[in-house]
Structure 1
Amino acid sequence: MKSISAKMQGKDFIRNYFSFIGLILVVIVFHVLTEGSLISSRNMMNIFNNFFSIGLGAIGVMFLMSLGELDLSVGAIMGFASAMGAFSAQVHVALIIPVCLLTGLAIGALNGVMISRLKVESFIGTLAMSFIARGLTTYFLNGTVGIPLTQRMFDQSYVKIAVFLVVAIVFYLLFEYRAYGKQCRAIGASAEAARQSGVNVERVRFLAFAISGLLCGLAGFFSLVRTCTASSSTGEAFEFEVLLAVLFGGMPLSGGWSVKFRAAIVGSIAMAVMQNGMSLMGIDGLTQQIVEGVILIIVVVISFDRRNTVVIK
């Protein structure tokens, strides 16, 4: 009995501190492989730029995963929001920010209605929405659409740092200290028990998808002002980068009370370091995707907790 208890404690320790251990290992490995180029004052902003978008997406997805839901449309939402923001610039540049945010919020809300009201499985529903949003982006853009280069003023480091701090603080407080965050985790642990406790399960699910869409719209805006162009490839593979980030940060697929806000931040940092390190090593994008896919499988195997899953008969 003692040996079994010790094994269980060891597994719990790995799950609880996997994100920090993984982050330290990633930094050490790529710092060595890049011969010290990774942690340098000149490269730190490159890491932050990678972290910024992934972190925004991860914070939004965190609410969904605490419910035990998935969102495979975050990349498509980011790309479509960026495209709509580019079109709005032809009317007036002041419309870019609100159009990007409202576009992301609208698609997130549609996902929320589909999953919470129409009872479509989130995996299927968001995958279908991804195809729809990608198709609309390609149809409307028909290539690329640019915005005035003056909008690159929003790509300044101090702007992005300030925005991320505000977003992180607001949603940290919402998730950890407000009733809504507790309701998300309660539903992830047991939707029926939460409903019997008076929680409006459908409303909580709807709001979670809306939050995810809103933050994807914000990521789409900053992607647009960084290059001053929107294309049909904007946001490609973003959903898998975000998913890998939160899982690497120790986010359980089953959701529930074990979900921690730190998973979104720590995992996003690790993902940004890994991407930047591979780029410094000269690894091409296709090979990077293969490496990320392998790591995703490994992370799921290590972090997957079968005790918190429902047995399907």
Structure 2
Amino acid sequence: MGIAMEKLKKLNFMGVLPYIGLIFVISVFYITSSGRLFQSYNIRIVIQQTVALGIICLGAVFVYSLGNMDISVGACLGLCTLIIITIVNATGNLLIGFLAALALALSFGLVNGAVSAWLGLPSVVTSLFLMFLGSGLQTIITIKTNTITSDYDFTFWKETSVQILTLVILAVILNYVFNYTKIGRYTCSIGANKECAQQSGINVFKYKIYAYLTMGFCISVASIFVLARTGSSSRLTGNGYHMDVMVALILGGMPLSGGMKSKISAALIGAFTYVLLTNGLTLSGVKVNQVPIVKALIFAIIVILTCRKKGNVLPR
């Protein structure tokens, strides 16, 4: 009985830890930034950054619940923005650009899920290939000009209400899919024990692809908000985004090994905490070149605190 109570207390603590971390980040940087953290202009910046990252993290939850990871996120996001802005400049039609970006992102997801399953490769190997491929294509497309800009009016997508509403709608839909459909339950089961899931009749190949396709869809949606914020795309757009997603999910309480403790809320809490952390460090006077060092230290601490399985620290 005593052991059970100890385990329950530990579980409850780990469940509320991301919320404690969020409150801590808000409190510390509100003080160190002399209140600038909550100025209206800064709040809009935080929302813009959180929405794009949060949408991608929502899709990433499905992949990470498998115990996998995708480091081609940034390259895929960069290509999506390049495709959208190129098509918009040529046709003036954002819908066509989005559909082209969606097709690209879904193709990335299909290759990530299918090839790694067919060849029995760790997903990180396939996504590494796609990362190099995507980065190479970004460089080729922007070889004549480092940055492609557009005169398209993204005012609608810049509206704070539109951004928040989009994030909320996607969060509600994906929360339902993750918690109340086979896709979510089976991806968690695969992450918990792949062999057991297979023996239980779960089609591991199919549900792995579903997870990566979900992430691809989220990347294509997020690319619109990235463009709305920047108004341009370059060979560096999306650079390092895979690490942002990974750190955000960890800050949100996502177990690195996936499994049944995976949760959609990790995407929202983690994205908000991560953006506030980055934004707060800058407002507090930390030099730009020192911010990655601070984030790396925090990342290491969180990994140590949240690792639950010995010998299986990182996603597969």
Instruction: Please indicate the TM-score interval, normalised by the length of the shorter structure.
Output: over 0.9
| Cross-structure match for 1:108 | 109
| Cross-structure match for 2:82 | 83
How much has 1:249 moved relative to structure 2? 0.8
Distance 1:185 1:308 in 2: 19
Distance 1:52 1:308 in 2: 34
Distance 1:56 1:16 in 2: 22
- Within 5 Å, which residues of 2 pair with 1:82-161? 82-94=81-93, 95-142=96-143, 143-161=146-164
How much has 1:65 moved relative to structure 2? 0.9
1:267 aligns with 2:270: yes
1:48 aligns with 2:47: yes
Amino acid at match of 1:155: K
How much has 1:279 moved relative to structure 2? 2.4
Instruction: Give the alignment's Cα RMSD to 1 decimal.
Output: 2.0
Distance 1:117 1:221 in 2: 32
Instruction: String of CA shifts for 1:160-180, please: whole Å, max 9, x gaps.
Output: 122112211110110011121
Unmatched segments (≥5 aa) in structure 1: none
| Cross-structure match for 2:65 | 66
Secondary structure of 1:16's match?
helix
1:57, 1:219 within 8 Å by CA — same for their partners in 2?
A: yes
1:196 aligns with 2:199: yes
How much has 1:121 moved relative to structure 2? 0.6
Distance 1:155 1:14 in 2: 37
| Cross-structure match for 1:14 | 13
1:100, 1:221 within 8 Å by CA — same for their partners in 2?
A: no
Normalised by the length of structure 2, the TM-score is 0.91
Number of residues of Structure 1 aligned to a counterpart in Structure 2: 309
Instruction: String of CA shifts for 1:15-41, please: whole Å, max 9, x gaps.
Output: 222111111111111111111221344
2:88, 2:152 within 8 Å by CA — same for their partners in 1?
A: no
Unmatched segments (≥5 aa) in structure 2: none
**Once the two structures are aligned, what percentage of the paired residues are identical?**
29
Instruction: String of CA shifts for 1:255-312, please: whole Å, max 9, x gaps.
Output: 11111211111111111111221222243433221111111111100000026949xx
Distance 2:130 2:13 in 1: 35
1:254, 1:308 within 8 Å by CA — same for their partners in 2?
A: no
Instruction: String of CA shifts for 1:56-75, please: whole Å, max 9, x gaps.
Output: 11111100111100111111
Deviates more, 1:139-148 or 1:263-272: 139-148
1:55, 1:268 within 8 Å by CA — same for their partners in 2?
A: yes
